[in-house]
Amino acid sequence: MNEEYPKPPFASQPQDVPGMQGKMDPYPDCGEKSYKGSGRLQGKIALITGADSGIGRAVAIAFAREGAQVAISYLNEHEDAQETKRWVEEAGRKCLLLPGDLAQKQQCEDIVSKTVAEFGRIDVLVNNAAFQMTHETLDDISDEEWVKTFDINITAMFRICKAAVPHMPRGGSIINTSSVNSDMPKPTLLAYATTKGAIANFTGGLAQLLGDKGIRVNSVAPGPIWTPLIPATMTDEDVKSFGSETPLGRPGQPVEVSPIYVLLASDEASYISGSRYAVTGGKPIL
C-alpha cells in the first residue's frame, strides 16, 4: 500500500496561505476511503484545531470512525471544513465547526467554551493548527510575521490548554503537533522550527504539571507530510522535491500520521505521557 503513495517530483501549484486541500495535486489521502475504525475512542469528545484539511482532517476522520464526537477548529477554509464534517457525520458522529483566528486570545477560549456547551466536556484535545512561511534570509522575516507564527503555533496552544483543562476528566489526553524541525531545524523555516521546539518542551513540562489530574500530554513530530501548507508556503522548487530527502523517498500522507493520534487519545495509552512520537519516513529523532 505504501509504495502506491506519490513520490516527487510534484507539479508547481502555488496557493494563498493557508491553502486549500481541494486544489492540491496529487490530492492528499486523509483516510477518507482507507481508515477503518474499531471503537477505540467510543464515547469520547475531541476538540481538534487545524482540522479542515491535512493531518487535522485525517485525525478527525479517524477519531470519528473510532467512535468520538468531534469539534474542529479552523481559520476560514470553509469548503475544506465542510468536507471534513461530511466524513465525520458519515461515520455517524456529530461534528461542530469552529471557524476563527487562533492568534486571538478570545477565539482560543471560545472554541473550548463552544465545544463544552455542545458536548459537555473535552476528553481529547489535539493542538494541530500551525502557520509557516519560507524565507531565505533573516532580514526577510518581518517582526509581525515572527509574532504571528508564535501566536498561532505555541501561544494559542497555551491558551487553549489553559481553557480546556478544567473541562477535562481524569483519563483525558492532550496531543500537540510538533515537527521533525524541532530536532533538525530547517533554516528557511526559522520561525516555524523555533515554535516546534517550543511545543516539544511545552508538552514535556505540561505532562508533569497535569499528572496529578490524570491528564496525559504527548506530542507527535511529523516529517514532511503532503498538506495544503506545503504549496501555500513553499517555493515551486521546494514543492517539486518535497519529501525526496527522506529514507522512504517521498512525503507522508496525512492518513499515515493519524494512527499515532488515535493511540495517544485512547485508554490503551494510559501510561504514556510526556513523550514525543516521530512519523518521519525514516528521519531519526533520538
Q: Which residues are catalytic?
A: 192
DSSP character at residue 252: B
CB 88 within 8 A of CB 61: yes
Helices (H), the chain: 54-65, 78-90, 105-119, 143-150, 156-164, 190-210, 229-233, 236-240, 258-265
C-alpha cell at 217: 500530554
Helices 105-119 and 156-164: angle between axes, nearest 10 degrees: 30
Among 87, 104, 40, 78, which Cα is nearest to 261's? 40
